[in-house]
Amino acid sequence: EQGDIWRACQTKDLPIRDWVKLAVTRARSSGMPAIFWLDHERPHDAQLIKKVEMYLKEHDTDGLDIKIMPPVKAIRCTMERLIRGQDTISVTGNVLRDYLTDLFPILELGTSAKMLSIVPLLNGGGLYETGAGGSAPKHVQQLIQENHLRWDSLGEFLATAVSLDELGEKQNNERARLLGQTMDKATERLLENNQSPSRVTGELDNRGSHFHLARYWAEELSKQDEDKELKEFFTKLSAQLEENKDKILEEMTVVQGHPADIGGYYHPPMEKVCEVMQPSATFNKILAEARDSVK
């Protein structure tokens, strides 16, 4: 009816061709079998199968295990391999991709918030996406009521590192590559020390988790010897963060247990968000001084 909001989907030839190429590339680089989730009894899928079979002939598939299966058979095959500890590449459209990138992290880790989805784009870029565990509204509710944000930013940390790696590789930027490598090490330490946000008000939340990541990242950059300028800069910053660690964490904890005003839900004003998300005057001062020193 007039005024309704609706959504249409178009499937075009160029993305399908690229999709097939990506499947072959991933199967080749990983050595894993790949399954196209397509049902020949669905008219739309039947047309896609014709194109997939045609474009597979354009690639060297010798030694690769590439199959086309309807979703019910594809998920059974994938799950049977999963319980044996075997990996499988699922080649799907975006709706099934969305389902699978929730399903498998939840089976493996208990939440989709600890996963990273990497989507190569047609013009050479990349889309790095993380899950929310399906509970973002509850996170905001707790923040507003108790000033405790239990959102786990692990996926964002992983996405940032991958983005830096990609930048380093595509533009031959050694500094970006180094930043990506050291951030990965910092994220590993965050996980090893179990410093992801707690659900309980008064314990470590998203802000404290970010502080620990910053502390580890600065330390990793201070320990490397590939870039002397970065080493010198982050050695000083790392020492300051370590020296003030307890004070910063205390400032981030003491604000909890009281309502927080962020001024909205979908598009809150930046000033109010910054005030709530940056509660440690000590941490803010150290970062501001570090930023000003390189201007």
Which of 292, 291, 192, 197 shows the shortest CA–CA distance to 249? Answer: 197
Residue numbers of the domain that contains 121:
94-134
Q: Give yes or no for residue 116 having a pLDDT over 90.
A: no
Between residues 295 and 217, which one has the greater pLDDT?
Answer: 217
C-beta separation of 71 from 39 below 8 A: yes
pLDDT band (50, 70, 90) for residue 132: low
C-beta separation of 189 from 244 below 8 A: no
Which of 191, 189, 186 shows the shortest CA–CA distance to 220? Answer: 186
Which of 130, 116, 128, 202 shows the shortest CA–CA distance to 163? Answer: 128
Among 77, 92, 107, where does a domain finish?
92
Same domain flag for 87 and 163: no
What angle separates helix 245-254 from helix 228-243, to the nearest 10 degrees? 60
Same domain flag for 260 and 175: yes
pLDDT band (50, 70, 90) for residue 175: very high
Q: Give yes or no for residue 199 having a pLDDT over 80.
A: yes
Taking the C-alpha atoms of residue 210 and residue 280, their distance in angstroms, rounded to an integer, is 12
Same domain flag for 127 and 169: no
In the chain, what percentage of residues exceed pLDDT 70?
99
Among 39, 59, 92, where does a domain finish?
92
Give me the pLDDT at residue 133, please.
63
Taking the C-alpha atoms of residue 285 and residue 133, their distance in angstroms, rounded to an integer, is 33
Give me the pLDDT at residue 99, please.
85
Structure-token match 């959102």, residue found: 151
Q: Which long-range contacts (CB under 8 A, 24 or more apart) does 165-170 make?
A: 166/126, 170/124
Between residues 93 and 51, which one has the greater pLDDT?
Answer: 51
Mean pLDDT of 44-56: 97
C-beta separation of 218 from 241 below 8 A: yes
Q: What is the pLDDT of residues 201-235, one digit of tens each?
A: 999 999 999 999 999 999 999 999 999 999 999 99
Same domain flag for 41 and 179: no
Q: What contacts 22, CB < 8 A, 6 or more positions away? A: 120
Mean pLDDT of 116-128: 83
Between residues 122 and 142, which one has the greater pLDDT?
Answer: 142
Give me the pLDDT at residue 8, please.
78
Give me the pLDDT at residue 50, please.
98
Same domain flag for 17 and 50: yes
Between residues 114 and 180, which one has the greater pLDDT?
Answer: 180
Give me the pLDDT at residue 233, please.
98
Same domain flag for 56 and 161: no
Structure-token match 């108790």, residue found: 146
Same domain flag for 144 and 119: no
In the chain, what percentage of residues exceed pLDDT 90?
76
Between residues 183 and 105, which one has the greater pLDDT?
Answer: 183
Same domain flag for 83 and 112: no
Same domain flag for 102 and 28: no
Per the structure, the count of domains in the chain is: 3
Q: Give yes or no for residue 194 having a pLDDT over 90.
A: yes
Give me the pLDDT at residue 134, please.
62
pLDDT band (50, 70, 90) for residue 137: confident
Q: What is the DSSP letter of 129?
A: E
Q: What rounded mean pLDDT belongs to the chain?
A: 93
Which of 125, 135, 128, 119 shows the shortest CA–CA distance to 157? Answer: 128
Indicate the SS3 state at residue 234: helix
Give me the pLDDT at residue 130, please.
77
C-beta separation of 256 from 205 below 8 A: yes
Taking the C-alpha atoms of residue 104 and residue 82, their distance in angstroms, rounded to an integer, is 10
Strand partners, 204: none
Among 83, 102, 134, where does a domain finish?
134
Give me the pLDDT at residue 119, please.
81
Token pair of 96 as six digits: 């099934």
Which of 202, 205, 207 shows the shortest CA–CA distance to 257? Answer: 202
Same domain flag for 111 and 11: no
Token pair of 294 as six digits: 């390189």
Same domain flag for 127 and 168: no
Between residues 255 and 155, which one has the greater pLDDT?
Answer: 255
- Beta strands 126-130 and 116-120 are antiparallel
Q: Give yes or no for residue 288 having a pLDDT over 70.
A: yes
Mean pLDDT of 238-250: 98
Same domain flag for 142 and 267: yes
